[in-house]
Structure 1
Amino acid sequence: MKNFIHPDFLLEGETAREIYHEFAENQPIIDFHCHLSPQLIAEDHNFDNLGQVWLEGDHYKWRAMRTNGVDEEFCTGSPDFYQKFIKWAETVPHTVGNPLYHWTHLELARYFNIFDLLNPKTADTIYHDASEMLRHKDFSIKSILNKMNVEVIGTTDDPADSLKHHASLKDFHVKVRPTWRPDNLIKTDDPTVFNSYIQKLEKAAGKSINSYADLLSVLDERHAYFDKMGCRASDHGLDRMYWTDDAGIDPEKAFKKLRVGKKLTETETEGYRFALMQELCKLNHKRGWVQQFHLGAMRNNNTRLFKKLGPDTGFDSIGQPQDSFKLSRFLDSLDTNNQLTKTILYNLNPADNETFVTMIGNFQDGSVPGKMQYGAAWWFLDQKVGMEKHLNDLSVLGLLSRFVGMVTDSRSFLSFPRHEYFRRIACNHIGKEVDKGVIPNDKEILKNLVEGISYKNAKEYFGF
């Protein structure tokens, strides 16, 4: 019987199979947005077991386990990783139709050469076989990166981070690049938390921050330091884009109000966030970085479990469609002064697909191919149906051939087969269009298209 994961997995026609195996399969991986730990890379860490590498911090799996009736103790609690893994193995057969089922079996196949389906009957053998491999020196993190043909990793790093682990990796042949993520600066709802973060930033900068002007000066210095350390991109995880045309908005006044522990009004909040985001984007333009906006997550919906477990534990969902007017005005406010750098927009609500694709077209300026990018299908859209809709919408309303491709957006070192998953889905989509006569069966066109979205476009766009 054919293995579930086989050479032509997800490739439905001869054209799809041909273009995948010839043009996509062996391309290196540029994972320009993820949440991997640079410390673990620098230490060349070995994981102790499969439960640890799969279930520690993976809120995708935790959501599925909870839905399957697994007690919270086996997600975030004290049982050992073997016990947690057994509960995950019990859940996996129920994830059929969910990308977790595909990812799980791709990871077993690509890292461990295990092609058995994971279920309660196979769980013990798979756990012990894979765990034994993980403890071997050939399965250290750097070895894993080599095995998966990874060329570049873009981590996610706060402006207050020292980047000492990136510094220790400067001679590692896999480029581990920091990514500037200044989201804590716009989290103003709780002045106590905000001021605690400002103190952390002061310590990193070695300077006091007593005014908005001081803040901008420190951010410019930290931005320059990140640039020196090889950073070429920023990332901003926002619920929405901020904008106001109120000429009376005073970010200096708002900042000082926060510093004395007072809450901002709704109008002051919008004005401060808009003004600061503008300044951050101007820094990105100043140093020629790519800026990424992940828009539309509604976070921490479950108050009881957020108080118990904290953020990023699996209680986020898709938010309302974006305010296209504010998105337009924010981008235009930068473009008006020719300070809009290369930009990638990611949406979480599928209702925003066409809005985002047409929005990037408003600000293409001919300076570079695909200056404005429609980012890869993200988070809840990072699955077969979501990717296919993304590819189709970008094809008909933009230029698919200029797309910079996939990211893992993951905290797991076993997530790199998601690039393979994307490439297979993309080649299947393109192959079916060729078979229908919508795209010509021209080898040069197909080669440029597939190699571009698999690897080459990202390499050129980020200047890696």
Structure 2
Amino acid sequence: MQGFQEDLYLDTPLSKHLYATYAKDMPIIDYHCHLVAQEIFENEEFEDLGQMWLAHDHYKWRAMRTFGIDEMYITGEASFEEKFYRFAEILPLLIGNPLYIWCALELKRYFGISEPLGADNAKEMYSRTKQMIRENHMTPQWCMETSNVELVCTTEDPTDDLLYHKKLLGKTKTKVLTAFRPDNAMFCERTGFAAYIQKLGSVSSLPVSTFRGLIDALENRLLYFKELGTTVSDDGIPDFTYVAADAKEVEDIYQKALGNQDLSKHEIDAYRTAFLLAMGRLYHRHGFVMQLHVGTYLDANTTRVAAIGQSTGFDCTDDATKVKSIGFLLDTLTSEGVLPKTILYPLDGTNIENYAVLAAGFCDGDAKAKVQLGAPWWFNDQVYGLERQFAAAGNLYPLSLSVGMLTDSRSFLSYPRHELYRRLLCRFLAQVVERGEYFSGESYLKRIIEDVCYRNVKEYFGF
């Protein structure tokens, strides 16, 4: 059995031609990720492939748990070498899982290794890759430059001082921006909400004793982020139902939340609605793109989250948020004339076509692709999810207007996910041509591929 093949997913002469000629060498703009700016700035050489793969990657952690591997070898105190060996044991068994292809691409692109990794050659692979890390001085910045990454947007809370983003300005080949993520000010039902609001007030030097004061403080921080060049926001929307409420009701709910009082489902939804509307107005006023990540089911395994922490592989997908609720949100902002550019990311893959139709319904002359369907993300950023979006959603919203792929990753080796996307995009386009469904010529195919891979995202975000 052969190892990694360069024709992966490129199964016709046309698909190979399109990928090699137009997609392969386009720069990467990774407009949504969870890399740590401090790690980019400090730029320390990686210890080994175990660290590169397993220090932050909850995809791999989740897979290892399914095989019954002890947590000590996942997020515990075992060395990265030991963790690498345990992951190597299960990798050959991940047939059909995106982790298998991602790892194969990462071994090939960063280490030039084509053969598969498994328990039988794990020690040899470990030594070999560790030597290459030393010889090539592999660091976070090395990974980004090697992958031809032009720009990344990390994700930070409004209270972040962005110290390392400031230190990175003009210092790296890859431009490092941030995204404004105000979720902690939206989750009014959480135990730490009141303490967080006080922190926000302190950082912004503004009173936050009222809901209006809260929004003013967030605007203050939004402008602070904007000073560093960002035009990107991220809002997570789990379990949301649109509930219109007047200013007094919203204020009463806010005061209850500050007092750590229990809130009803109706009150939580009313607050979230008011909050998202207020943020949408701010994004429009200050030229930010509003990215709505819809359908997360956070901290499903509360026991393990309590023991290990959040964002460690215990989040899931959910269908509780109805398309109509997001539609009401967009419609209210539209009726006020303040709908910003918006990208919708439904995590529930069964609803992806409905969101494509919804997005098209709110486009107008203000901007090209003003509201659009985002790349398949998180649990959908694999071959099936990507093909589903190309084939199904593409019938309902022009694929040629897409801002392309993102990594949504904490790993510096995750950029081959852009390569995977580009390969599948070229295969899809070639299939459409070969079925006789497209005959406008190669010059248009070139434009579409280069737009989706690179130009659209630069224009849309104003990078």
Q: What's the TM-score bracket when you normalise by the shorter of the two chains?
A: over 0.9
Matching residue's letter, 1:421: L
Residue equivalent to 2:450: 451
Q: Is the 8 A contact 1:116 1:122 kept in 2?
A: no
Check the 8 A contact 1:15/1:431 in 2, yes or no: yes
- Normalised by the size of structure 1, how large is the TM-score? 0.96
Partner amino acid, structure 1, of 2:158 = P
Any conservation in 2 of the 1:46–1:137 contact (CA below 8 Å)?
A: no
Say whether 1:377 aligns with 2:376: yes
Cα gap change, 1:441 to 1:93, in 2 (>3 Å)? farther
In the other structure, the counterpart of 2:221 is: 222
- Runs of 5+ in structure 2 lacking a partner? none
Which residue in 2 is equivalent to 1:48? 47
Which residue pairs with 1:161 in the alignment?
160
* SS of equivalent to 2:392: helix
Q: Deviations over 1:83-120 (max 9, x none)?
A: 11101000100101111000001001101111120101
**Conserved in 1, the CA contact under 8 Å of 2:14 and 2:430?**
yes
Contact 1:32 1:152 in 2 (8 A): yes
Q: Distance in 2 between matches of 1:460 and 1:325?
A: 29
Report the counterpart of residue 177 of structure 2 in structure 1.
177
Asked if 1 retains the 8 angstrom alpha-carbon contact of 2:333 and 2:339, the reply is yes
Quote the residue 1:310 is aligned against.
Answer: 309
| In structure 1, C-alpha distance between the alignment counterparts of 2:442 and 2:96, rounded to whole Å | 33
CA contact 1:357–1:393 (8 Å) conserved in 2: no
Establish whether residue 187 from structure 1 lines up as the match of residue 187 from structure 2. yes
For 1:274, the equivalent position in structure 2 comes to 273
Which residue of structure 1 aligns with residue 345 of structure 2?
A: 346
1:294-319 per-position Cα deviation (integer Å, ceiling 9, x unaligned): 11111211122122112111122221
Aligned to 2:344, the other structure's residue is in SS state strand
Q: Residue 85 of structure 1 aligns with which residue?
A: 84
Q: Show the counterpart of 1:231.
A: 230
Identical pairs, percent: 38
* Structure-1 residue corresponding to 2:433: 434
Aligned partner of residue 360 in structure 1, secondary structure:
helix
1:334, distance to aligned residue in structure 2 (A): 0.3
Query: 1:17 matched to which residue of 2?
Result: 16
Asked if the contact 2:197–2:208 (Cα under 8 Å) also holds between the matched residues in 1, the reply is: yes
Residues 240, 269 of structure 2: 8 Å contact kept: no
Question: By how many angstroms is 1:8 displaced?
Answer: 1.4
Tell me which moved more, 448-457 or 265-274.
265-274
SS in 2 for 1:76: coil
The Cα of 1:321 is off from its aligned counterpart by 5.6
Q: Determine the structure 2 residue equivalent to 1:95.
A: 94
Question: Structure 1: which amino acid aligns with 2:395?
Answer: V
Structure 1 stretch displaced more, 260-269 or 391-400: 260-269
| Secondary structure at the counterpart of residue 120 of structure 2 | coil
Task: Check the 8 A contact 2:188/2:254 in 1, yes or no.
Answer: no
Q: Give the match for residue 289 of structure 1.
A: 288
Q: Which secondary structure state, in structure 1, belongs to the residue aligned with residue 151 of structure 2?
A: strand
Superposition deviation, residue 380 in structure 1 = 1.1
Conserved 8 A contact 2:106-2:414: yes
* Structure 1 residues 391 and 221: CA distance shift in structure 2, 3 A: same
What value does the CA root-mean-square deviation take over the aligned residues? 1.5
After superposition, residues 17-166 of structure 1 pair within 5 angstroms as 17-136=16-135, 138-166=137-165
TM-superposition CA deviations, 1:101-149 (whole Å, max 9, x none): 0000100110111112010112112112212332456312222211110
Q: 1:375: Cα distance to partner?
A: 0.4
Runs of 4 or more, structure 1, over 6 Å off, are none
Q: State the Cα distance separating 1:267 from its structure 2 match.
A: 2.1
Q: Which amino acid aligns with 1:134?
A: I
1:232 CA displacement: 0.6
Give the 3 Å change call, closer, same or farther, for CA 249–91 of structure 1 in structure 2: farther
Name the SS of the counterpart of 1:294 in structure 2: strand
Larger deviation, residues 302-311 vs 401-410: 302-311
What SS does the corresponding residue of 2:114 show, helix, strand or coil?
coil
Which runs of structure 2 are paired with 1:371-450 in the superposition (5 Å)?
371-440=370-439, 442-450=441-449
Aligned length: 462
Secondary structure of the residue that 2:311 maps to in structure 1? coil
Deviations 1:334-369 (A, max 9, x none): 000110011000011111111100000110012221
